[in-house]
Structure 1
Amino acid sequence: MTSTDTDLVPPPRRSRPSRRLPWRDRAVVIAMVAVPSFFVLSLVWFPAVLSVILSFGAWNGIGDVDTIQWIGTQNYQDIATIYPPFWPAVKHNLIWLGFLFLGPTLLGMFLAVVLDRNMRFSRFYQTAFYLPVVLSLALTGFIWQLMYSRDQGLINQVLGTDVDWYGDPSVNLWAALVATAWRHTGYIMLIYLAGLKGVDASLREAAAVDGASETKTFFQVVFPVMRPINMIVVVIVVIESIRAFDLVWVINRGTNGLELIGALVAQNVVGEASRYGFGSALAVIMMVISSVFITLYLRVVFRQERER
């Protein structure tokens, strides 16, 4: 064999060291995947699938599963045709959605921009605006009942009026929206404040060098950079608007001008009617409406990302 032939012979492959994880690390990885998956399947997907199945039946929740009467799409037809509270509830949910976008969401973003400038007592203001978020919506309802009380409420005492803020169907929806805005504003403020802290300072410096004003810098430089934060805020606002329930349930169980889809679900599932199939159909409708809004927005966002 010549030296040339020797050079053409490939060197023997060295055996690669084994990269298998120790059994303890593998057990940790398996647990980290299995435990969350179990809770997601058991607490999210299983109830969702079960609600879809029950929506095609009539069942009062008493007795075995064999007592369910399968009636097809009759529940959905009854909701759309002979259930009076449904369409007002859809209207109120849409009003709730629009109000949260145009009111507390924009106000929360404005507060975040102001507090991001490292003004004096900014920590105190952040805590004060965020404090209502710690409270549940049910407790928020009780607090605002003290404000809205017809006889001893603070608002009527200050204004010298005699308005039944929670009892009058012409104003109780707007009173509930003001109460939920009190809590929602601080939540949005905190999200945008965290997003502003993550924006590269060099972008603002470059805009300042070019002579851009603070307003122009925010809308043309900072705001587009916070696209992921904006997407999160949109999803949160849509979900919070569609599943709004606690506040109106505390006020009057979602009746007399405060009809919402979430309250109608509770009335039919845990109320006196105990119509699990009918309530499940309402829950499925609420889930579909939420999915449509979120899917459309995500589709627009991802399309813009692909076009870049």
Structure 2
Amino acid sequence: MTIANAQKAAETTATGGRKRRYRGIDHLSAVDRVVVSLMIIIPTILVVGLVWFPAIASVLLSFTSWDGIGSLSAAKFVGLKNYSDVVSIYPPFWPAVQHNLIWFAVNFFLVTPLGIFFAVLLDREMKFSRVYQTALYMPVVLSLALVGFIWQLMYSKDQGLINAVTGSTIDWYGDPRYNLWAALLASSWRQTGYIMLLYLAGLKGVDPSLREAARVDGASETQAFFRVVFPVMRPINIIVLVVTVIESLRAFDLVWVINKGRNGLELISTLVTSNIVGEASRIGFGSALATFMLIISSIFIVIYLRIVMRGEQR
């Protein structure tokens, strides 16, 4: 076989191989299209059915008076009456709003700085940093209901660790002077690890040259962090703000386990549940409370999305 024939045979083989490969790719592309379509359609159906439909239904039901018995045709349209009643003649509402604001303030002004502090320490790659990181993050994997039971061992009036050590007889979960702060301490124990992990991931993504430049300019570690590193983590700061607001609104499990959101532990989320699934079921009234939560959380989510999209455009 001459060199020309060999080259021709090689080209023919290569062309045929490419054709077969292209046919294979075309065949797989059809399969891939089906897989991708299923990956889009199935989650979309789940999100619409489990998130959007209940949310829209709650908004619509908030304009009605319905006790949940019988068909929806029994629901009576009352307009904005539920909203006016919530604001004006429902005594637990404003204490619940106040408690949610306190919950947010503690998470944002105390828990967040504490999480940042732990993230900065762990970012230095100190000895046993993996052990400390695991210990701090471990409560995050626990549900708030389980956290409530764990802290019951600490707060129990007769057998709790705190009263056993201090010799006091305070009913930490039962006394309205203390139960909100006791619940906040238990929640903060869990939330700190989550904030720590978010900021630790942000610190790992900061360009080391920025810190080197700040060090060359004579900045201390504290100055370098607040003037160089912290501003660079602006997306993380926004995420933490949105997460803190949403967590403050949806704080439910822990409080419900303690006393079902009564006796000084009223939150908007517990009021929604007690009105919808309580003894005197008021679906429309509870839906109005849920709509308040939806509006507040949606405002912060929209702000977050606008900032993210503006950053991507830049």
- Give the structure-2-normalised TM-score: 0.88
Q: 1:54 offset after TM fit, Å?
A: 0.5
Kept in 1, the 8 Å contact 2:260–2:270? The answer is yes
Q: 1:174 offset after TM fit, Å?
A: 0.6
1:53 equivalenced with 2:42 (yes/no):
no
Kept in 2, the 8 Å contact 1:199–1:225? The answer is yes
CA distance in 2, matches of 1:115, 1:82: 50
Kept in 1, the 8 Å contact 2:138–2:193? The answer is yes
**Equivalences, count:** 291
Aligned with residue 148 of structure 2, among 125, 141, 158: 141
Q: 1:292 offset after TM fit, Å?
A: 2.8
CA distance in 2, matches of 1:297, 1:22: 36
Structure-1 residue corresponding to 2:10: none
Kept in 2, the 8 Å contact 1:104–1:185? The answer is yes
Aligned with residue 22 of structure 1, among 29, 39, 45: 29
Structure-2 residue corresponding to 1:272: 279
Structure-2 residue corresponding to 1:35: 42
1:123 to 1:142, Cα distance in 2 relative to 1, 3 A:
same
CA distance in 1, matches of 2:309, 2:207: 25
Runs of 4+ in 1 over 6 A off after TM superposition: 17-21
| Partner SS for 1:51 | helix
1:193 equivalenced with 2:200 (yes/no):
yes
Identity of aligned residues (%): 65
Kept in 1, the 8 Å contact 2:116–2:195? The answer is yes
1:65 to 1:303, Cα distance in 2 relative to 1, 3 A:
closer
Structure 2: tracts of 5 or more residues without a match? 1-21
Structure richer in helix, relative to its length: 2
CA distance in 2, matches of 1:144, 1:167: 13
Aligned with residue 158 of structure 2, among 145, 148, 151: 151
- Give the structure-1-normalised TM-score: 0.89
Structure-2 residue corresponding to 1:85: 92
CA distance in 1, matches of 2:166, 2:243: 35
Structure-1 residue corresponding to 2:16: none
One-letter identity of the residue aligned with 2:155:
Y
Aligned with residue 256 of structure 1, among 260, 263, 266: 263
Kept in 2, the 8 Å contact 1:133–1:184? The answer is yes
Kept in 2, the 8 Å contact 1:130–1:186? The answer is yes
CA RMSD of aligned residues (A): 2.1
Q: 1:291 offset after TM fit, Å?
A: 2.2
1:127 to 1:304, Cα distance in 2 relative to 1, 3 A:
same
Structure-2 residue corresponding to 1:236: 243
| Partner SS for 1:22 | helix
1:148 to 1:231, Cα distance in 2 relative to 1, 3 A:
same
One-letter identity of the residue aligned with 1:127:
T
| Partner SS for 1:63 | coil
CA distance in 2, matches of 1:177, 1:56: 34
Q: 1:29 offset after TM fit, Å?
A: 2.0
Q: Deviations over 1:238-275 (max 9, x none)?
A: 00001111111000000000000000000011111111
